[in-house]
């Protein structure tokens, strides 16, 4: 193995320029199949709001909401305000939070594929329970099983997609997860639009069809190869090198293989990755693992996607019009993700996040102004303003689709050294699902209390996160995962958290770093 001593990231020196290989059909197919795991997340996001606006579903499980919607005189913003109804949506994400932490040791010790398979099976069970639910307890149990599936899938799939592609195209291929997510949302919206006409059991069909992407995810997990990083970490170096040669299309993979081996040696020396991730030297990555998913949810996107039909009905749209609008926003979100895929490895992560943030702020403020001036209690928006609201929300969704949507997953998945990568991804997923749970549970109550101010609330958070990216997020475009530590060394703020010996080495003093006296 090439010389030196193991550094904090498990890599002795920068040698990305020595990496060889190309994008092979092998890696593209593997990434496409793995990304299907994102569709189960997207399908649930899209299906929940449509189902909760169906009369037959409300009559069976939430009759008080049905009465309030159709008979009681309430504020337009408060028709769907129910913590029990919110719990139907949010229970999934609380279960996903717990399962993502369980998935971390599974992903690290037994590989990414096993977590993908576990996620698919759990989601299959949840879909079956939801479709056949006869009471609220069975319905919630099904949601919990769906949550376990999402926790495992969201933990493993982004890691898989960040480790398979070559560094210069990692961003674009990694975003296949977001493409699958947005495709799942759009598909769910289309299914809801069709099943709403099946009066008595349309909601069962909507919930049950979640089994299809779950089945694809399970079969894909069985057929996929394991990532070279994971194989090497598990001790299968020869097999790991063979897979690396196959996905790079060349036998000349010495430099990249050496980086992986060095990183895996350090990874295997870490017995408690969750404890290690709290060390000062890993502070930059930990902050990103917490704040990136937090900011992604605080854009307000999930409020729109979860409750799009409910939200539009609250604004005075009719039942069909609200579903038309939610289908439109789902389609826009799906298509806008391809903008990010085409530009992320050329323009970089920071420009997309900053420009997307600015566009989202403007859109949220415009919607708030329209609702404040033209939408009061027991009033409906005029046709012209209704069209304008949908248009502005579509522009908001477009901005999210090519910025915080995919990059909220891509950036955290690529910044961690191997020894804490599964733990870091678990934290990312857990934080994402925690805030998804909070927003899902609280949104209808916030809408009732804040009214149009809910959009200003989210606009304020987007302003904060855009400033954060400008000052504190370094550019990770084209940087190999095993050499990501050098990004933090060169950043004006984060370099102060690195150990002293790392700073000395980076200034040419070449002080040897030892890992328990283990020399490479």
pLDDT band at residue 515 under the 50/70/90 scheme = very low
Q: What is the pLDDT of residue 81?
A: 66
Res 255: pLDDT: 85
pLDDT tens string 189-220: 888 888 888 878 889 999 999 999 899 889 88
User: How many Cβ atoms are within 10 Å of 343's Cβ, its own excluded?
Assistant: 15
Evaluate if residue 503 carries a pLDDT over 80: no
Over 50: is that where the pLDDT of 3 sits? no
The residue ranking higher by pLDDT, 273 or 355, is: 355
pLDDT given at position 154: 83
- Which string of DSSP letters, residue by residue, matches 277-294? TTSGGGHHHHHHHHHHHH
* Confidence bin at 511 (pLDDT 50/70/90): very low
Query: For 109, what's the count of Cα atoms within 13 Å in the CB-facing half-sphere?
Result: 8
Name the least confident of 19-28, 327-336, 443-452: 19-28
Average pLDDT over residues 330-353: 89
pLDDT of residue 471: 96
- Which tens digit of pLDDT belongs to each residue from 389-430? 888 988 999 999 999 988 998 898 888 887 788 788 888 988
All residues at 6 or more sequence positions from 361 whose CB lies less than 8 Å from its CB, including other chains: 459, 462, 463, 466
Handedness of CA 217, 222, 223, 227 (dihedral sign): positive
pLDDT value, residue 256: 86
Contact criterion met (CB below 8 Å) for 489 and 506? yes
pLDDT band at 8 (very low <50, low <70, confident <90, very high): very low
Backbone angles phi, psi at 515, to 5 degrees: -115, 90
Q: Which two tokens stand for residue 309?
A: 């039909």
pLDDT for position 209: 92
Q: What is the mean pLDDT of the chain?
A: 81
pLDDT in tens, 309-324: 666 765 666 656 666 7
Q: 207 and 21 in contact (C-beta within 8 Å)?
A: no
Token readout for 75 is 């504020």
Q: Span 334-355, mean pLDDT?
A: 91
Average pLDDT over residues 182-194: 85
> What pLDDT is recorded for position 307?
62
Write down the pLDDT at residue 297. Answer: 92
Which tens digits make up the pLDDT trace of 132-148? Answer: 999 988 998 999 999 99
Question: Which tokens sit at 261?
Answer: 């081996």
How far does CA 195 lie from the centroid of its chain? 27
**Range ranked top by mean pLDDT from 82-96, 168-182, 371-385, 465-479:** 465-479
What pLDDT shows up at residue 238?
Answer: 93
Cα 142 to Cα 456: distance, rounded to the nearest angstrom:
35
The yes-or-no verdict on residue 28 having pLDDT over 60 is yes
- The two most distant CA atoms of the chain are separated, in Å, by 77
Higher pLDDT, 316 or 519: 316
Res 510 pLDDT > 80 = no
Q: Using DSSP, state whether 246 is helix, strand or coil.
A: helix
pLDDT above 90: percentage of residues in the chain: 24
Kindly tell me if the per-residue pLDDT of 124 is higher than 90. Answer: yes
Q: Global pTM? A: 0.72
Least trusted range by pLDDT, from 196-200, 241-245, 257-261: 196-200
Q: What pLDDT was estimated at residue 507?
A: 42
What is residue 318's predicted lDDT score, i.e. its pLDDT? Answer: 62
CA angle 98, 45, 174 (to 5 degrees): 75
| Cα(169)–Cα(414) distance, integer angstroms | 12
Write out pLDDT tens, residues 53-76. 788 888 888 887 777 666 555 566
pLDDT for the residue numbered 10: 47
- Residue bearing the bigger pLDDT, 512 or 438: 438
Q: Indicate if the pLDDT at residue 52 is higher than 80.
A: no
The DSSP bridge partners found for residue 518 are 515
Give, in order, the Cα–Cα distances in Å from 112 to each of 53, 228, 279, 453: 37, 11, 25, 42
pLDDT band at 77 (very low <50, low <70, confident <90, very high): low
Per 3-state DSSP, what percentage of the chain is helix, strand, and coil (rounded to 5)?
A: 75, 0, 25
- CA angle in degrees (0–180, nearest 5) for 211-157-257: 145
Say what the pLDDT of residue 285 is.
92
Task: Find out whether 433 and 151 touch, Cβ atoms under 8 Å.
Answer: yes
Identify the three-state secondary structure at position 112.
Answer: helix
Report the C-alpha gap between 296 and 399 in whole angstroms.
Answer: 12
| C-alpha separations of 137 from 59, 91, 207 in Å | 16, 12, 16
């Amino acid at each position: 193995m090439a010389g030196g001593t193991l550094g904090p990231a498990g890599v002795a020196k920068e040698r990305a320029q020595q990496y060889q290989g190309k994008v092979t059909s092998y890696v593209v197919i593997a990434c496409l199949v793995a990304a299907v795991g994102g569709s189960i997340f997207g399908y649930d996001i899209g299906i929940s709001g449509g189902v909760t606006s169906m009369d037959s579903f409300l009559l069976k499980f939430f009759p008080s909401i049905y009465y309030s919607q159709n008979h009681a005189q309430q504020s337009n913003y408060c028709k769907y305000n129910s913590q029990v109804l919110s719990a139907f949506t949010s229970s999934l994400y609380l279960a996903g939070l717990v399962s993502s932490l369980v998935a971390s040791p599974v992903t690290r010790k037994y590989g990414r594929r096993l977590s993908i398979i576990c996620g698919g099976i759990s989601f299959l069970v949840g879909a079956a329970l939801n479709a056949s639910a006869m009471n609220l307890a069975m319905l919630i149990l099904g949601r919990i099983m769906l949550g376990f599936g999402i926790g495992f899938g969201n933990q493993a799939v982004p890691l898989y997609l960040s480790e398979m592609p070559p560094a210069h195209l990692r961003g674009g291929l990694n975003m296949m997860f977001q493409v699958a997510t947005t495709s799942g949302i759009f598909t769910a919206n289309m299914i809801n639009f069709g099943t709403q006409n099946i009066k008595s059991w349309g909601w069962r069909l909507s919930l049950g069809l979640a089994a299809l992407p779950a089945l694809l995810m399970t079969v894909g997990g069985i057929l996929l190869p394991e990532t070279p990083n994971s194989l090497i970490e598990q001790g299968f170096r020869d097999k790991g090198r063979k897979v690396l040669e196959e996905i790079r299309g060349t036998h000349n993979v010495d430099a990249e293989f050496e980086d992986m081996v060095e990183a895996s040696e350090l990874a295997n020396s870490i017995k408690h990755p969750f404890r290690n991730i709290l060390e000062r030297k890993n502070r930059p990555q930990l902050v990103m693992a917490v704040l990136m998913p937090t900011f992604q949810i605080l854009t307000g996107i999930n409020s729109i996607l979860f409750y799009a039909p409910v939200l539009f009905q609250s604004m005075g749209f009719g039942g069909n019009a609200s579903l038309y609008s939610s289908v439109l926003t789902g389609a826009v979100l799906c298509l806008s993700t391809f903008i990010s895929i085409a530009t992320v490895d050329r323009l970089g992560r920071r420009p997309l996040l900053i420009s997307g943030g600015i566009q989202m702020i403007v859109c949220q403020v415009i919607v708030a102004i329209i609702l404040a001036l033209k939408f009061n209690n027991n009033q409906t928006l005029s046709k012209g303003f209704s069209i304008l609201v949908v248009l502005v929300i579509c522009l908001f969704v477009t901005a999210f689709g090519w910025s915080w949507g995919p990059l909220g997953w891509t950036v955290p998945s690529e910044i961690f050294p191997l020894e804490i990568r599964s733990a870091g991804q678990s934290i990312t997923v857990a934080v994402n699902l925690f805030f998804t749970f909070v927003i899902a549970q609280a949104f209808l109550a916030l809408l009732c209390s804040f009214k149009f101010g809910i959009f200003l609330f989210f606009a304020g958070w987007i302003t904060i996160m855009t400033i954060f990216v400008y000052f504190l997020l370094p550019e990770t475009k084209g940087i190999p995962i095993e050499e990501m530590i050098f990004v933090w060394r060169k950043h004006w703020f984060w370099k102060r958290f690195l150990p002293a010996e790392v700073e000395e080495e980076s200034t040419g003093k070449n002080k040897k770093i030892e890992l328990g006296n283990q020399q490479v």
